[in-house]
Amino acid sequence: MNQELILDARTDSAKNLAWWLYLAHAASFFFSLGLFSIIPLLFNYAKRDDTRGTFIESHHSWMIRSFWWYVVWVVVGAALFVTMVGIPFAFLVWGVAWIWKAYRLIRGWVTLNQNQPI
Q: pLDDT tens digits, residue range 61-80? A: 999 999 999 999 999 999 99
Show me where the domains of the chain are located. 10-48+57-113
d(CA 64, CA 26) in angstroms, rounded, equals 13
For 54, phi then psi, to 5°, come to -115, 170
The pTM for the full model equals 0.85
Q: What CA–CA distances, in Å, run from 39 to 20, 46, 67?
A: 12, 11, 11
Q: Given this model, what pLDDT does residue 89 score?
A: 94
**pLDDT per position as a tens digit, 7-21:** 688 888 999 999 999
- Number of H helices and number of E strands within the chain? 4, 0
What's the N-to-C CA distance of the chain in angstroms?
Answer: 23
Per-residue pLDDT at 94: 93
Q: What is the mean pLDDT of residues 105-112?
A: 95
- Look at residue 44 in the predicted model and tell me its pLDDT: 95
pLDDT at 69: 95
